[in-house]
Amino acid sequence: MEAQSPTELAQKKCVPCEGGVAAYSREDAETQLQQLKGWCLTHDGKRIRKDWKLKNFVAVMDFFNAVAKEAEAEQHHPDLHLEQYRNASIEIWTHAIGGLSENDFILAAKIDKLRGE
């Protein structure tokens, strides 16, 4: 599999997934993650995650609201985590297949774009 750049991914739209497609292999996921700064594999290679330390609670909530708007537009919804009032993390995976699909990397690239990363 050839990895796509963050720009290429961010220009795509998530495609509805109701299952029936193969999840990315760990090797393919690792190859794609080399293009996405700060994202890492979790849950035995079935999810991707990124962590941020923001200025304060309001900054995290503003970020999460922007992510929510993007996620809703893509119909692909991540898990959002807030700890100690300013530590944000996001986990993404395709629930219908119990692993990673292109949609996850598309959404990750769009989230990075929201932050100017």
- Name the packing angle between helices 57-74 and 102-114 (round to 10°): 140
Contact 115, 67 (CB under 8 A): no
**pLDDT tens-place values along the chain, 117 residues long:** 789 999 999 999 998 887 778 999 999 999 999 999 999 999 999 999 999 999 999 999 999 999 999 999 999 999 999 999 999 999 999 999 999 999 999 999 999 999 887
Q: How far apart are the first and last CA of the chain?
A: 24
> What's the pTM?
0.94
CATH number of the domain within which 54 lies? 3.30.1360.20
Which domain range does residue 37 map to?
24-114
In-domain check, residue 77: yes
* Neighbouring C-beta atoms of residue 30, cutoff 10 Å: 14
Contact 42, 48 (CB under 8 A): yes
Tokens found for residue 23: 């999840």
